């Protein structure tokens, strides 16, 4: 019997850092828009996997264009805590179920906020 495969990948689009986790059943997208991020570090403190770290906050305060939070994709469990607690909604999460038989991407894109 094959092990359940989990693929992860990271992508950058403009100010969005897109982390994806894919299994046969579903794809979870964690979208961090660093332009919305206030650098408060709440998410860094509460991430249960310690997958988040502060970026170069002092340089950012002086005008450097860089994300205030760095994501460790390997460590992230896609639990959605950062999404639920970020005061500026810089993190969003969507889940796409992949229908088992047809292998079609379905319907169901839910905002993790809705589960809060
Ligand atoms: S909680 Fe939100 S605003 Fe605060 S550092 Fe994390 S992503 Fe940025
Ligand atoms: S989804 Fe969960 S594990 Fe991943 S960065 Fe956010 S709080 Fe941490």
Res 116 pLDDT > 70: no
The answer to whether residue 93 sits within a structural domain is yes
Q: In angstroms, what is the span from residue 34 Cα to ligand 1's centroid?
A: 8
Q: In angstroms, what is the span from residue 101 Cα to ligand 1's centroid?
A: 39
38 in contact with ligand 1, CB cutoff 6 A? yes
94 in contact with ligand 1, CB cutoff 6 A? no
The answer to whether residue 1 sits within a structural domain is no
CA 71 to chain centre: 8
CA distance 67 to 8: 20
pLDDT at 38: 96
In CATH, what number is assigned to the domain containing residue 70? 3.30.70
- Residues of the domain holding 82: 7-115
pLDDT at 99: 79
pLDDT at 50: 98
- The domain tally of the chain equals 1
Res 112 pLDDT > 90: no
The answer to whether residue 92 sits within a structural domain is yes
CA atoms within 13 A on the CB side of 87: 6
CA atoms within 13 A on the CB side of 53: 7
Mean pLDDT of all residues in the chain?
Answer: 89
Is the dihedral angle over the CA atoms 84, 90, 70, 44 positive or is it negative? negative
The answer to whether residue 65 sits within a structural domain is yes
The answer to whether residue 26 sits within a structural domain is yes
pTM for the predicted model, two decimal places: 0.84
Q: What angle do CA 65, 71, 72 make, to 5 degrees?
A: 140
19 phi-psi bin (left φ>0, alpha ψ -120 to 50, beta other) = beta
pLDDT in tens, 10-67: 999 999 999 999 999 999 999 999 999 999 999 999 999 999 999 999 999 999 999 9
The answer to whether residue 44 sits within a structural domain is yes
The answer to whether residue 2 sits within a structural domain is no
pLDDT in tens, 21-32: 999 999 999 999
The answer to whether residue 54 sits within a structural domain is yes
């Amino acid at each position: 019997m094959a092990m359940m495969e989990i693929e992860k990948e990271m992508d950058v689009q403009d100010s969005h850092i897109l982390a994806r986790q894919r299994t046969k059943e579903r794809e979870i997208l964690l979208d961090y828009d660093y332009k919305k991020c206030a650098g408060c570090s709440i998410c860094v403190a509460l991430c249960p996997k310690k997958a988040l770290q502060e970026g170069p906050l002092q340089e950012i305060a002086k005008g450097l264009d860089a994300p205030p939070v760095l994501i460790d994709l390997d460590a992230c469990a896609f639990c959605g805590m950062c999404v639920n607690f970020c005061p500026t909604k810089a993190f969003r999460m969507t889940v796409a179920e992949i229908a088992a038989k047809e292998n079609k991407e379905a319907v169901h894109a839910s905002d993790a906020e809705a589960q809060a």
